[in-house]
Amino acid sequence: MPPLAASVRTDRPQRILITGASSGIGAALALAYAERGIGLVLGGRDLPRLAATEGACRARGAEVEAATVDVTDAGAMRRWIEAADDRAPLDLVIANAGISAGTGTDGESEAQARAIFATNIDGVVNTVWPALQRMERRGRGQVALMSSLAAFRGFPGAPAYCGSKAAVRVWGEGLRGEYAGKGVAVSVICPGYVESPMTAVNDFPMPLLMSAERAAGIVKRGLARNRARIAFPFPMYVAAWLLGALPPGLTDPLLRRLPKKA
């Protein structure tokens, strides 16, 4: 890929927009960035949890704008993002909102799969596109897309979730090259198991499960360094990459034995 323009600054974002900020990594990221002199624009679906995140960030000295937003509503998202950018230019936009589904023995239902694609793919596009257009015009900014280590291989029991995160990862990596030289940095985030309401329903062992706070610290440091792919924890990243690289004939028998959600 061509090098990014020298004008790209990713180490000191002053105004940051985060979707899915009511819980999990999104809330932890908001808190990780919250301090005096920082402006946060937070979106989420759960109003009480979002209000709690807003209050905690204000307590750390940040200026906070919070709104309940539906990332699947393209028009509403464009209006929300452009209004926030009009008030003060956004330096960093993190498209974090995402969902999974209980899979059971029959896997994801059609309704679950459609909801996952609508939130995890359309929702990311609805967040990223308005931000990219504004940032490209002024020649500066940074966008981060939340993918997953599940993006490297389709897993039985969660094919739609894996597929949605694979689409986000590949799209984000392509956008990084597309916007190189335009002053806009693009990074893809691929976490493993992180403590959140999404993983709280899992009743099986989750290797190297980490706190949302620790994950947010890793993401923040990676974004400050303008890393193309922020994948962690490293042993899980290697395992996920290897599963994706090996022939399905070798990996399918193993994956069929993996535990599923209740």
Q: Whose CA is closest to 56, among 71, 74, 35, 83?
A: 35
195: region left, alpha or beta (phi > 0 left; psi from -120 to 50 alpha): beta
Percent of the chain with pLDDT over 70: 89
pLDDT digits (tens, 9 = 90+) for 22-50: 999 999 999 999 999 999 999 999 999 99
> Which one of the listed residues 33, 161, 179, 193 is annotated catalytic?
161
Lowest mean pLDDT among 82-86, 152-156, 214-218, 247-251: 247-251
d(CA 134, CA 118): 24
- What pLDDT is attached to residue 202? 63
Q: Whose CA is closest to 128, among 3, 2, 18, 45?
A: 18
- What pLDDT is attached to residue 258? 65
Q: Check pLDDT > 50 for residue 103.
A: no
Q: Whose CA is closest to 109, among 211, 227, 228, 261?
A: 261
For the chain, the C-alpha Rg in angstroms (whole number) is 18
d(CA 171, CA 30): 24
Domains of the chain (ranges; CATH) run 15-255 (3.40.50.720)
Contact 146, 189 (CB under 8 A): yes
Contact 42, 50 (CB under 8 A): yes
Active site residue 161: yes
Q: Tell me, yes or no, if the pTM score tops 0.85.
A: yes
